[in-house]
Amino acid sequence: MSVVTNDEGVNVDHGRILYLEDVNVSFDGFKAINNLSLDIAPGELRCIIGPNGAGKTTMMDIITGKTKPDSGTVFFGSTIDLLRYREAEIAQLGIGRKFQKPTVFENLTVFENLELALKTDKGFRASMFFKLNSEQTDRLAEVLHTIHLAEQVTRQAGNLSHGQKQWLEIGMLLVQEPKLLLLDEPVAGMTDEETARTAELFLSLKGKHSLMVVEHDMGFIKTISEIVTVLCDGSVLAQGTLDQVQADERVIEVYLGR
Ligand SMILES: Nc1ncnc2c1ncn2[C@@H]1O[C@H](COP(=O)(O)OP(=O)(O)OP(=O)(O)O)[C@@H](O)[C@H]1O
Ligand SMILES: [Mg+2]
């Protein structure tokens, strides 16, 4: 592995898949993100909690290039300065994002949705004549198994349950083999059983991918969490195991004690 150095030859390789330092964003004078610093290790499953308006979604907007910060550093790995890239380019670099509302194509089958996700980075002409090669077929089969939809391949996505639609959308990200997955409130609206299955799914993804999961469902967080970061007023209020942050007086005051 090569060592990453800056212009002065100093080793700046931080060994993190995601690295944010002193990030700031204001909307009409309101500081939504306030000197935010946070980093994630490769293969880690990081949980983010915090009150409404803490800046969790805005942080994801910054990582994915949807919102440009006023100042600060945002790196993907040690060498990729995300602030130099546009939203579509950042997706191509290997950062997949799942929004709260599922956006699957209801009229297409489960299989067709996944196939389409594989094609998205090819132009219109290329995708017209696109045929899956055997490697891609294997990849789709593997993803279908991972998201528990192998038995539903020919079903129309519109007929799936809410939870199944969410898994399909995660599958549509997985076929593109993202290094980092950002998941904003993935179990909102799910049944208890679907939530439990989603926890299993995320645990099976960690290691292979790095994950950042924003959730208000503390039972879910308890099942999947290693390190939990608490955001409040646009910066990190506390970080540690769930037990540690739950015992933190400041966290109880702003979030858990509501
Ligand atoms: N594009 C925008 N323009 C103006 N204000 C914004 C914009 N995006 C976010 N905000 C404000 O920034 C603050 C942080 O919002 P954000 O959506 O990031 O919070 P959150 O932690 O995701 O909350 P929740 O748990 O409710 O989803 C809020 O006060 C919100 O109103
Ligand atoms: Mg949000």
Q: Where are the domains of the chain?
A: 18-256
Helix (H) or strand (E) holding 140: helix 134-146
Q: Which residue has the CA at smallest separation from atom 2 of ligand 1?
A: 27
- What residue type is 75 in one-letter code? F
- Ligand 1 proximity of 2 Cβ (cutoff 6 Å): no
**What amino acid occupies position 57?**
T
The model's pTM is 0.91
CA 180/CA 77 separation, integer angstroms: 10
pLDDT at residue 128, rounded to an integer: 57
Q: What was the pLDDT predicted at 13?
A: 74
Q: What gap in Å lies between CA 153 and CA 167, rounded to an integer? A: 13
CA–centroid distance, 117 to ligand 2, in Å, is 25
Q: Is the CB of 189 under 6 A from ligand 1?
A: no
Cβ pair 56, 184 in contact under 8 A: yes
- From the alpha carbon of 51, which atom of ligand 1 is closest? 25
CA of 184 relative to ligand 1 center, distance in Å: 13
Residues 6+ apart with CB under 8 A from 30: none
**For each of the chain's 258 residues, which pLDDT tens digit applies?**
456 666 776 666 778 999 999 999 999 999 999 999 999 999 999 999 999 999 999 999 999 999 999 999 999 999 999 999 999 999 999 999 998 777 899 999 999 999 999 876 555 555 556 677 888 889 999 999 999 999 999 999 999 999 999 999 999 999 999 999 999 999 999 999 999 999 999 999 999 999 999 999 999 999 999 999 999 999 999 999 999 999 999 999 999 875
- Please report the atom of ligand 1 found closest to the CA of residue 58: 18
On whether the CB atoms of residues 148 and 201 are closer than 8 A, the answer is: yes
pLDDT for the residue 99: 84
Check: CATH 3.40.50.300 for 18-256? Answer: yes
